[in-house]
Amino acid sequence: MAYKLTFELVPEECWRANLRALLTQTEWDIVRKDAYKRSGYRCSKCGTKGRLEAHEVWRYDDEKASQTLVDVTALCSACHKVVHISRTYLVGEGEAAEEHFKMVNGCSQADFHAELRRVNEEYRRRNEVEGWTTDMSWLVKKYNIGLEKPKKI
């Protein structure tokens, strides 16, 4: 089943492709503020108004071992914690994230566990693959922000 809000586990090899660290503060502000504007200043998953966070959305091609940036979206803190569930468990906020997942998706605890198992399995498979490539051309197309030269934070 496809859930409105789910977990997005980035393969370990791709962790260095962190937009926030690759862009200058000014560039990151352009990207993140545009994401908030495009979602009408609401969380793109649950519709909550208020403080928003920017989330990088990647598409994976498992056969080509490529990771492509396809969007940066606005998320409320609760949804963002669901998306990054592993990190959320580590900081001891897993239970609240489980509740939020069930509420937004209108599903049961069993559904939650089944989806988490599915995504963890996908993550395990992707971590066995070496040589992931990262495509961030979305940034150039949308904002004319290039990443040819290394950027400092």
Binding residues vs Zn ion (CB under 5 A): 43, 45-46, 48, 76, 79
Distances (CA, A) of 75 to 2, 50, 64, 106, 110: 18, 10, 29, 18, 25
- 50 three-class SS: coil
- CB 6 to Zn ion: min, Å: 13
- CB 91 to Zn ion: min, Å: 18
Tokens, residue 144: 């004319």
- CB 72 to Zn ion: min, Å: 15
**Smaller CB distance to Zn ion: residue 67 or 88?**
88
**Smaller CB distance to Zn ion: residue 74 or 136?**
74
What b/e string do you get for 59-92 counting C-beta neighbours within 10 Å, with b at 16 or more?
ebeeeebbbbbeebbbbbebbbbbbbbeebeeee
**Smaller CB distance to Zn ion: residue 17 or 97?**
97
The DSSP bridge partners found for residue 59 are 68
- CB 76 to Zn ion: min, Å: 3
Which phi and psi (to 5°) does residue 69 adopt?
Answer: -75, 125
**Smaller CB distance to Zn ion: residue 48 or 66?**
48
CA–CA separation, 87 and 128 (whole Å): 20
